[in-house]
Structure formats: C-alpha cells, structure tokens
Amino acid sequence: MFTSFLAGVSAYGRALQLCFKYNLWIYFLVPALLSILLGGGMIYGIWNVSDNLGNWMAGFWPFSWGKGWVDNVAQVFGGLAVGAFAFIIFRNLVLALAGPFMSLLSERVENRLRGEVSATFKMSAFLSDMVRGIRIAIRLIVRELFFTTLLFLLGLIPGLAMVTTPLIFIVQAYYAGAGNIDFALERHYRVRDSIRFVRQNRGLAIGNGTVYLLLLLSVVGFLVALPLGTIAATVETVKRIK
C-alpha cells in the first residue's frame, strides 16, 4: 500500500511532463473557471453561515461565567466546521461539473500513453460521462460526509482530536483520489467494478488525493488541481489496467 501511495504522489511529476509534451493546457480552462466561481460562492456562504452556527452552538452553554470564552471557541469551531464541509461540497461539485472534460483529458492521455490516435468527440459519450460522473460524485460525497462527520464528532472528545484530524484528511484524500481515478476507469469498467478497483488500490487513491488536496488548499494550486490530478491518476491507472 505504501508503494502505491508513493506512486500516486510521484505521478504528478509525470503529469506535468505530459502537459508540456502534449500541450494539454486547454483542458485546464473549464475546471479553473468553475473553481473560481464556486470558490467565491463558497467563501461568501462560509462567511455568513459560520457566525450563525457559532452563535447556535454557544447558546447551549447555560452558565454566565466563561460565556465570552465559550463564544470565541464556538465561533472558531463553527467556522472550521462550515469550512470543512463546504470544502467537500466544493470539491465534488467541481468534480461533477468538470467531469466530462476531465474524461476527455484522461482519454487523450491514455491514448498517448498507448501510442493510439485520440478518439473523436461524441455528444452521446459526453452526456454518458456526465451522468456517470454525477452518479459517482453523489456516491463519493455521501460516504465522505458520513465518515468525516463521524470523525469530526469523535474529535470533540478530549484528547481524540490529534487522532481524528489526520484521519479526516486521509478519508478526504481517499475519496478525492477515487474521483480522479474514475476518469480512467469509466472507459473500462462499470461502476461496481470501478469501486472494486479503487478499493484494491487504496494507496494509489490516497497518494493521488493527498497531492490533490494540498494543491486545492494552496493559493493558486486549486486552479490546476483537478486536471493535474486526473492526468496523474490516469498514468498510474493505465499501468494497472494493462
């Protein structure tokens, strides 16, 4: 598993090489625009909702003493909670909406790696990829929110936050990597078989998702995270399919 994790991380270097070699930068435009628009909306929503959540949480404190301290903690905690879940929703929305374009990117990369001619664009395939992408995104976001919420609640127990925090990151990395890997799997497997493939290659999914999340959290990396993650996932997935 650790070897697969390293392969998922190091594949981003190969992804950059392929971007320059085959001039793949046009595929970065759509996810970049979606990231800017959705990211701006998410930040606005977090700014307005986090205060309300913090005030609601602080209202459970029944005592007058320590009220100021509880209010401050509740505001910070509310902001972190809203930000974490908004980040999950943002990531999966970009994944679903830009999915058909990332499918084209993944197919082009795979054809280049196999030495084949790139396939022509077909609207039926484009719509099919969009439906599959939305289906996969819904499945991923439901499971990710469930496990993240569970770990988040466990983290409220004194002393467990140091354990649950890295576990939350690993869970998000796994599901993020799974989404990127599916762009390559959709041409070869049905949804059920794709899920089985990802489970058998958890290290690859976590490695890919780790770099992907770090890019999303950087200043400008969120603009290129999805296409780079797609290319990196395709490079390693094609090896395992072969």
**Per-residue pLDDT reduced to its tens digit, 75-125:** 556 666 677 777 888 888 888 888 888 988 999 999 998 877 665 666 666
Would you say residue 45 has pLDDT above 70? no
Query: Using one digit for the tens of pLDDT, what is the confidence trace for 15-27?
Result: 999 999 999 999 9
What is the spatial distance between Cα 26 and Cα 83, in angstroms, rounded to a whole number? 30
Torsion on CA atoms 46, 48, 51, 53, rounded to nearest 10: -70
**DSSP character for 220?**
T
What is the spatial distance between Cα 50 and Cα 47, in angstroms, rounded to a whole number? 6
Average pLDDT, the chain: 83
More confident residue, 69 or 130: 130
CB 207 within 8 A of CB 6: yes
The percent helix, strand, coil of the chain (3-state, each to 5) is 85, 0, 15
What mean pLDDT comes out for the span 15-43? 89
Per-residue pLDDT band for 224 (boundaries 50, 70, 90) equals very high
Q: Quick one: CA dihedral 66, 71, 76, 81, positive or negative? A: positive
Would you say residue 52 has pLDDT above 60? no
The predicted pLDDT at position 202 comes to 96
Q: Quick one: CA dihedral 87, 90, 94, 96, positive or negative? A: positive
CB 180 within 8 A of CB 229: yes
Query: Using one digit for the tens of pLDDT, what is the confidence trace for 132-174?
Result: 777 777 888 889 989 988 988 887 676 777 888 899 899 999 9
The predicted pLDDT at position 65 comes to 53
What is the spatial distance between Cα 210 and Cα 212, in angstroms, rounded to a whole number? 5
Q: Give the helix ranges, DSSP H, for 98-160.
A: 99-114, 123-154
Domain boundaries, the chain: 2-241
Query: Using one digit for the tens of pLDDT, what is the confidence trace for 163-219?
Result: 888 998 999 999 999 999 999 998 888 888 988 999 999 999 999 999 999 999 887
